[in-house]
A = this chain, B = another copy of it.
Amino acid sequence: MTASRPDPAAVRTVTCAGTGVIGGGWVAYFLARGYDVVAWDPAPGAEERLRHLVDVAWPALTGLGLRGGASRDRLRYEPDLAKAVAETEFVQESAPEDLELKRRLLAEIDEATPLHVVISSSTSGYPMTDMQVKCAHPERTVVGHPFNPPYLIPLVEVVGGEQTDPAAVAWASEFFTVAGKSVITLEREVPGFIANRLQEALWREALHMIAAGEATVEQIDLSITDGPGLRWPVQGPMLTFHLAGGQGGMAHMLDHFGPSLKAPWTRLEAAELTTELRDDVVAGCEREAAGRSIDDLVAERDSGVIAVLRALGRA
């Protein structure tokens, strides 16, 4: 019989295993949110690099507002993995993206970590089903995929593997939410999760364009920073196209421009615009709009874009 999981809101101590750019970013974030953080990384010089990373991030985190009690003094570097997880209440693994390495490390963490503790991986692409295979207790292993830098970008994508207990997924989602993150809980494993798939589609198209001499690196970046990128912190791609349909919204957009989906604008083949997909997308936009009219959404977008332009000194 093991102890039951702690209340996600009562967690005080977390362990970060692996403290490179992503793991170190997690350390900075958890410290700023007032946790005791135990850090472990076997690389030579890792502690010094970690403390440097935290020091560099700290002014920004202070500016954004620390939680009560937050302090860099609450970071403890622990060279022994078993000791690093022995008294923790949550583990975030951020080892390099190497499947075999992650399998072995997760198994080691699993062996040394009290059974009631959830173990989360920062992997940006491996399904937990593939990573949890060597764990004696895979039921408490989840993916908690952050975005760089984890101390600033709110998104965390949470998803379990085949052997994961859905209760562990729910616990992790609640814990990240309590910790101040913006959480997407995936119902099923999708390679690359959600945001990375979208980001990768854009990145691949960009590489094709550069390879074909259609655009330079600088033009690609400028086309985003001065174009659609200004809208995306305010409204995502779906709501963006909801507004592109004018007063008719997404329904008009799909019914009117559906055929041009087939135009050879990207190397990515268009999805078949079935009635079902059309209805799903329209319904999703309407749920998201939650009663706000197109005019309301346009006003929100405009004030958001203006705020972004001003904030970046580009007004």
Please name the residue on chain B nearest to A229 by beta carbon. Answer: B232
A233 near B236: Cβ-Cβ < 8 Å: no
A86 contacts the other chain (CB 8 A)? no
Give the secondary structure class of A's interface.
Answer: helix
- Of the candidate stretches A4-12, A40-48, A129-137, A241-249, the one touching chain B is A241-249
Chain B proximity mask over A288-315: 1 for CB below 8 Å, otherwise 0:
1000000100110111111111111011
Contacting residue for A149 out of B194, B216, B226, B302, CB 8 A: B302
- Chain B: minimal CB distance from A156 (Å): 9
Count, chain A residues at interface, CB 8 A: 116
Interface residues of A in 194-247 (CB under 8 A from B): 194-211, 213-239, 241, 243-244, 246
Please name the residue on chain B nearest to A264 by beta carbon. Answer: B191
A266 contacts the other chain (CB 8 A)? yes
Please name the residue on chain B nearest to A203 by beta carbon. Answer: B237
Residues of B within 8 A of A241 (CB): 203
Please name the residue on chain B nearest to A224 by beta carbon. Answer: B236
A193→B263 CA distance, assembly (Å): 13
Given contacts A198-B220, A210-B277, A267-B268, 12 further A-B contacts (CB under 8 A): A148-B244, A152-B306, A155-B222, A157-B223, A190-B214, A193-B223, A194-B220, A200-B205, A211-B274, A221-B239, A229-B232, A266-B268
Chain A contact residues, CB within 8 Å of chain B:
20-21, 56-57, 60, 63-65, 97, 125, 147-149, 152-155, 157, 182, 184, 186, 188, 190-211, 213-239, 241, 243-244, 246, 257, 260-261, 263-274, 276-277, 280-281, 283-285, 287-288, 295, 298-299, 301-312, 314-315
